[in-house]
């Protein structure tokens, strides 16, 4: 293979390109060759700007204003001869900085892992098999399949293009899609924007389909060569992070004012200036939760990783916060509420219904056709119907080996189309044979607006040896034949004739009524219905547009496909309803089918309304907004209707999640509060637009993601509450002591240790909680609710007072017991506050639930955090070589008899506060239920 990745591939014919890259257009590369080329060329991705190293990150930790003041203070201590205290302060500052770097690194790694999972995939052919793999694994010579809505994963020379249009604005700035042709050979010097036989990385297919051979990857692509580096963008702070950052700054300024006041009052009281300075600065550091942003990021990132285990991949951090407030889920039916395991069970043609027996297939598994055959060879109309469905089809069966003496197959393609291929195979019609005898020469791809697709074929004479073949019943075999399949009503409207009684004849109104009645009956049985038609052509049209191809069709029949509901959807809808979340079905299927499925899964309420796309067209936005809360099902809708629906729900005050999988769904995904794309069936455009991607296309995963979003937000509130109540208590303890003329209960070093311990491990452990058991029985959180709401504010007030009370009580008793040993009294105060905070961390695990309901030992990370913190505290108190550093005193059993009862005061206070919150919450839920 040539090493020159800058060859003018557009100026070479297809065989020369394939030969130069040593590949095959239908077989692709071998696995060994692809592996070797990946090793040689590297991954197919653009290089990112280098990340800051450990040393840079560490230095950044010291750029905090308060930390700089503390370093200055330690230097002053050093000059004044207090070497031990100066060294201890510097050691704690460095330890705090290292902890900050570790937290940042963990957050970044977690986000990087998420980003890797969110990376685009490519549909390729290797070793003759169609498969999907991450785009970063593409190599020159790979054969890539291109479909509407997908991004071009690398620079490719087209080897096949069917009505292919590509939007190249990312590369050329031209907003109008470029029509592509594979068969042309262009001049070597032709400008980039005019290379009609080539497609470039990061551009997007807007129409048609194609196939191309990869000619350049990664930094060798045009995007890389012209230095339009798509650098890894830095995640912008989420609204929650902005709020917490503002909160931290507010607390910081308030703490600085109070600390300044503490310093001034101390000087007025003729206390040691250096001691007061160190205390004031240490108090400022303790009061400001510097670790909060890093802990929030880690909590969000780890929460997003938990979501991945529940099949929901969040592409943007702010979506976590929005998920917790979701009040409505607008879900597609097919594949999301149903299993997307389509099986054709009925055929209707020539006034007869034919039952199709046998097993279906698993979309991502293997199946056999044993026991599923049915005979249509003597039924010309049925054979024609199956042939139309088989030829007008992009899915195919692939032999995957043998199992128990049976041949097993794998379906590749769209599940609905796959069902038609399987039905035809059961009757003995195989796609490879049909396409060999009637090759496709042109097509009009499926479009969600038209709700149909058409293909044009050139029938071979040998293929029509069957005397019942309808194409020549009224004459000789036509040169070309159009096959069309799609929504029955729309296909029927395009038909002027019908195949009946083994001949083509004009379609009557009675025929149309009979077809509509069968369509209605099938839909009422929760079947998805497709119509099929054909049209003989004397010549291939020069312009293969829907207007020229899809007209004067001959109606053949209907396919009735069953797609059973997912068993997990019904309980998920019940769970969502209990959580105050409305579920709405939005589908392009018929009203009867939609209603039947909605009733099976419990989505359609007794008084719930059903609207169709035609109803929406007749209604104004205001009229829809008035009844939006009453509508449970929207049937026969287009992607444009989705925007109207989501706007109506938002106008009613809903935080709406909207699912989508096609290119035309992008506007609705963007306008919704939470755009949800399908990971299996979704296009790259829909995934790029969405906030969240479902890796299993399952409605239940949306509800699980909402639950996880609530858990994450609740956990963030828990450690915010825990940190702030402790920090405010520390300020109150020092401030009251100075105002009361008491000695300081806590030294500067003790404040720093307290800050390190309470702001560190226990707070992070709170961020890893699994969530309250009743979290999905609470109403959604209002979007405008502040992080510190009224309930939390009262909790902070009561807990700060409790912490202050027990610390000053312990300190006062210590002063009386040890009038000549201030260190003993300080150690009692220090032990009381720190151990009570560690004990209170257990109570802070839930905002409302009792500690005993949650279970004391159910969060193993809390056990690790509390145990490690307790060991550090006991070491400070009892290890002889640390006692001079922290001025600590080894407490005896007498001191612990005072301290131990006091430790339970804050956690008991918290449990009392939660009792009243639970009671208030029950009243709110009862009032909502009554409303």
- Residues tagged active-site: 332
H or E element that contains 435: helix 431-437
The answer to whether the CB of 921 falls within 8 A of the CB of 851 is: no
The length of the chain, given as a count of residues: 931
Tokens for 232, please give them. Answer: 């890894």
Tokens for 693, please give them. Answer: 């991607």
H or E element that contains 388: helix 380-391
Torsion angles phi and psi, residue 50, rounded to 5: -60, 140
Tokens for 179, please give them. Answer: 């029509």
SS3 of 734-754: HHHHHHCCCCCCCCHHHHHHH
The answer to whether the CB of 339 falls within 8 A of the CB of 566 is: yes
Cα separation, 242 vs 236, in Å, equals 10
Cα separation, 307 vs 120, in Å, equals 19
Q: Strand 609-612 to strand 631-635: parallel, antiparallel, or no bridges (unpaired)?
A: parallel
Sequence-ordered list of residues with C-beta below 8 angstroms from that of 80, at least 6 positions apart, any chain: 274
Q: How far is CA 90 from CA 71, 78, 83, 800, in A?
A: 7, 11, 11, 29
The answer to whether the CB of 739 falls within 8 A of the CB of 679 is: no
Helix (H, G, I), strand (E, B) or coil at 192: helix
Instruction: Looking at 27-152, list the stretches that DSSP marks H as alpha helix, in order from N- to C-terminal side.
Output: 31-41, 54-61, 65-79, 83-117
Region of residue 231 (phi > 0: left; psi between -120 and 50: alpha; otherwise: beta): beta
Cβ burial 560-579 (10 Å sphere, 16+ → b, else e): bbbbebbeebbebbebbeeb
Cα separation, 310 vs 304, in Å, equals 10
Beta bridge partners of 158: 212
| Nearest Cα residue to 120 out of 682, 659, 669 | 682
| Nearest Cα residue to 152 out of 140, 135, 137, 169 | 135
The answer to whether the CB of 632 falls within 8 A of the CB of 606 is: no
Q: How far is CA 97 from the centre of its chain?
A: 33
Sequence-ordered list of residues with C-beta below 8 angstroms from that of 377, at least 6 positions apart, any chain: 383, 427, 428
Q: How far is CA 686 from CA 253, 474, 639, 679, in A?
A: 45, 46, 12, 9
Instruction: Looking at 608-747, list the stretches that DSSP marks H as alpha helix, in order from N- to C-terminal side.
Output: 613-618, 621-627, 639-651, 666-671, 684-689, 699-739
| Nearest Cα residue to 738 out of 273, 166, 265 | 265
Neighbours of 399 (CB within 10 A): 10
């Amino acid at each position: 293979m040539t090493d020159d990745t800058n060859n003018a591939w557009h100026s070479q014919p297809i065989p020369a390109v394939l030969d130069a890259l040593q590949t095959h257009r239908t077989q692709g590369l071998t696995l060994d060759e692809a592996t070797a080329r990946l090793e040689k060329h590297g991954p197919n991705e653009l290089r990112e700007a280098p990340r800051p190293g450990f040393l840079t990150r560490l230095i950044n930790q010291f750029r905090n204003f308060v930390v700089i003041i503390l370093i200055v203070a330690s230097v002053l201590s050093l000059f004044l001869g207090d070497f031990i205290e100066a060294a201890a302060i510097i050691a704690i500052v460095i330890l705090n900085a290292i902890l900050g770097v570790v937290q940042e690194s963990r957050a970044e790694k977690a986000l990087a892992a998420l980003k890797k999972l969110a990376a685009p995939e490519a549909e390729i052919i290797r070793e003759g098999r169609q498969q999907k793999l991450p785009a970063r694994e593409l190599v020159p010579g790979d054969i890539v399949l291109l479909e509407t809505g997908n991004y071009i994963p690398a620079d490719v020379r087209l080897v096949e293009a069917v009505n292919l249009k590509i939007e190249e604005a990312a590369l050329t700035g031209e907003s109008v899609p470029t029509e592509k042709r594979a068969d042309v050979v262009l001049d070597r010097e032709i400008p980039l924007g005019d290379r009609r036989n080539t497609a470039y990385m990061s551009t997007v297919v807007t129409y048609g389909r194609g196939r191309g051979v990869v000619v350049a990857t990664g930094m060798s692509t045009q995007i890389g060569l012209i230095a339009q580096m798509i650098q890894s963008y830095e995640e912008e702070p989420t609204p929650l992070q902005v709020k917490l950052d503002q909160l931290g700054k507010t607390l910081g300024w308030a703490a600085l004012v109070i600390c300044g006041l503490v310093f001034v009052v101390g000087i007025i009281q003729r206390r040691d200036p250096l001691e007061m300075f160190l205390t004031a600065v240490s108090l400022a550091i303790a009061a400001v939760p510097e670790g909060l942003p890093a802990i929030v990021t880690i909590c969000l990132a780890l929460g997003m990783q938990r979501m991945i285990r529940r099949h929901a991949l969040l592409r943007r951090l702010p979506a976590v916060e929005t998920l917790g407030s979701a009040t409505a889920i607008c879900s597609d039916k097919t594949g999301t509420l149903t299993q997307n395991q389509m099986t054709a069970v009925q055929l209707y043609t020539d006034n007869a219904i034919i039952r199709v027996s046998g097993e279906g297939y698993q979309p991502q598994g293997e199946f056999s056709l044993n026991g599923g055959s049915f005979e249509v060879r003597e039924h010309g109309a049925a054979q024609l119907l199956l042939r139309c469905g088989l030829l007008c089809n992009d899915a195919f069966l692939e032999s995957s080996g043998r199992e128990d003496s049976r041949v097993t197959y794998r379906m590749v393609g769209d599940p609905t189309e796959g069902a038609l291929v399987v039905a035809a195979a059961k009757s003995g019609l195989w796609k490879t044979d049909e396409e060999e005898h009637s090759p496709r020469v042109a097509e009009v791809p499926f479009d969600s607006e038209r709700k149909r697709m058409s293909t044009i074929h050139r029938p071979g004479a040998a293929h029509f040896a069957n005397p019942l073949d309808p194409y020549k019943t009224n004459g000789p075999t036509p040169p070309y034949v159009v096959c069309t399949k799609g929504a029955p009503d729309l296909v029927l409207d395009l038909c002027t004739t019908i195949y009946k009684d083994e001949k083509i004849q004009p379609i009557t109104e009675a025929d149309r009524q009979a077809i509509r009645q069968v369509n209605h009956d099938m839909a009422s049985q929760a079947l998805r219905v497709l119509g099929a038609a054909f049209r003989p052509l004397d010549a291939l049209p020069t312009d293969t547009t829907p207007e020229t191809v899809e007209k004067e069709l001959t109606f053949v029949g209907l396919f009735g496909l069953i797609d059973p509901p997912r068993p997990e959807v019904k309980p998920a809808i019940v769970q969502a309803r209990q959580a105050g979340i409305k579920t709405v079905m939005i589908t392009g299927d018929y009203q009867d089918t939609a209603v039947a499925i909605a009733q099976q899964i419990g989505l359609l309420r007794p008084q719930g309304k059903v609207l169709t796309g035609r109803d929406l067209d007749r209604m104004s936005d205001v009229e829809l907004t008035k009844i939006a809360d009453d509508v449970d099902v929207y049937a026969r809708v287009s992607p444009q209707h989705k925007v109207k629906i989501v706007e109506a729900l938002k106008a009613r005050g809903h935080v709406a999640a909207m699912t989508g999988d096609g290119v035309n769904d992008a506007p609705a995904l963007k306008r919704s509060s939470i755009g949800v794309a399908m990971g299996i069936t979704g296009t790259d455009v829909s995934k790029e637009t969405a906030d969240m991607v479902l890796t299993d296309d399952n409605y239940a995963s949306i509800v699980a993601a909402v639950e996880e979003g609530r858990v994450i937000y609740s956990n963030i509130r828990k450690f915010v509450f825990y940190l702030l109540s402790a920090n405010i208590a520390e300020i109150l303890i020092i401030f009251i002591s100075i105002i009361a003329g008491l000695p300081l209960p806590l030294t500067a070093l003790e404040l720093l240790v307290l800050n390190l311990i309470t702001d560190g491990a226990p707070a992070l452990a709170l961020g890893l909680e699994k969530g309250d058991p009743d979290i999905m029985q609470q109403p959604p959180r209002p979007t405008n609710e502040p992080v510190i709401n009224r309930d939390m504010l009262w909790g902070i007030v009561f807990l700060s007072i409790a912490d202050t009370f027990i610390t000053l009580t312990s300190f006062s008793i210590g002063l009386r017991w040890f009038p000549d040993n201030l260190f003993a009294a300080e150690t009692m105060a220090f032990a009381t506050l720190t151990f009570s905070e560690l004990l209170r961390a257990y109570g802070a695990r839930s905002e409302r639930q009792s500690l005993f309901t949650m279970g004391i030992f159910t969060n193993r990370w809390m056990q690790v955090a509390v145990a490690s913190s307790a060991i550090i505290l006991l070491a400070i108190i009892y290890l002889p070589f640390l006692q001079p550093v922290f001025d600590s005193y080894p407490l005896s059993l007498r001191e612990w008899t005072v301290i131990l009862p006091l430790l339970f005061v804050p956690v008991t206070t918290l449990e009392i506060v939660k009792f009243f919150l639970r009671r208030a919450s029950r009243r709110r839920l009862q009032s909502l239920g009554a409303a």
